[in-house]
Amino acid sequence: MASLIDKIKELRELTGAGMMDCKKALVENGEDVDKAKDWLREQGITTAAKKSGRIAAEGLALAKIEDGYAAIVEVNCETDFVSRGDDFKALVNTVLDLLLKHKPANKEAADAIINPLLVEATVKIGEKLSFRRFELVKVEDRGATYIHMGGKIATVVLLDKKNDELAHGLTMHIAANSPSYITTDDITEEDYNHERGIQLEITKNDPRLADKPEKMLKNIVEGKIRKYF
């Protein structure tokens, strides 16, 4: 079981909040990290809930289109120093090329191709390396990729018809906003109600809105929900 110190560290990595704020959030919520994350948002301390899915590890995410297929991959290492090195960058590009060449049907098949390469690279680089995830998509001429900040974020977009300008714009939008859904119709009732509860608490705790009529507050909350998703 993770200690309180470990949970504080995890919460800080997920939200960017200060140590004392993270400790208070955990104490107030029975050391439940997910509830503490929501509590920090409700109190107006953080707005970083959309980053909750990020992995607390270094590494690179890269994407590439070749011969009508797009591959996107994440490979992790232990330190930022290694992730910025030429050897590691070359390794991740090799992983991309192998995925595009062999087109594995699933992660298990991809592991059989990629893991021997990582074992060999671990000896050279000197850190534990992990092939975390990948996707391989047939895009023909209807796709685009985008790599942000040298590999901190990578995106792939596939459209139903060719539109290079739109596809490129969407890849950048996804990198900037990390949307959970493609359209509002895709939002689950559970996720909608969860976010609505958080936005209600944020609104209640905002002193600038204390004297606003209930109808206006409701409209503010609904507007925030639309913006969030």
Check which CATH number belongs to the domain holding 159 and give it: 3.30.479.20
Number of domains in the chain: 3
| Range in 15-19, 93-97, 99-103 the model is least confident about | 15-19
Q: What is the pTM of this model?
A: 0.68
Say yes or no: 83 and 172 in one domain: yes
Question: How far is it, in rounded angstroms, from Cα 181 to Cα 55?
Answer: 20
Last residue of a domain, one of 156, 177, 198: 177
Same domain, 164 and 223: no
**Helices and strands of the chain, counted as H and E runs:** 9, 5
Final residue in a domain of this structure, among 177, 197, 217: 177
What is the band of 55 on the pLDDT scale with cuts at 50, 70, 90? very low
- Sequence-distant (6+) residues with CB within 8 A of 164 are 144
The alpha carbon dihedral of 179, 185, 188, 191 has a sign of: positive
Which domain covers residue 208, as residue numbers? 180-229
By the 10 Å C-beta count (0-12 exposed, 13-18 middle, 19+ buried), 93 is classed as middle
Mean pLDDT within 97-105: 97
Q: What is the predicted pLDDT for the residue at 137?
A: 95
**48 pLDDT exceeds 70?**
no
Length of the chain: 229
At residue 3, the 3 state secondary structure works out as coil
Residue 119: partners with Cβ closer than 8 Å, 6 or more residues away: none
**Is it the case that residue 54 has pLDDT exceeding 70?**
no
Residue 218: count of CB within 10 angstroms of its CB: 12
Q: How confident is the model at residue 47 (pLDDT cuts 50, 70, 90)?
A: low
Both structure tokens of 221: 């909350």
91 and 195, same domain (yes or no): no
pLDDT 10s digits, 131-165: 999 999 999 999 999 999 999 999 999 999 999 99
Q: Report d(CA 200, CA 194) in Å as an integer.
A: 10
Residue 154: strand, helix, or coil: strand
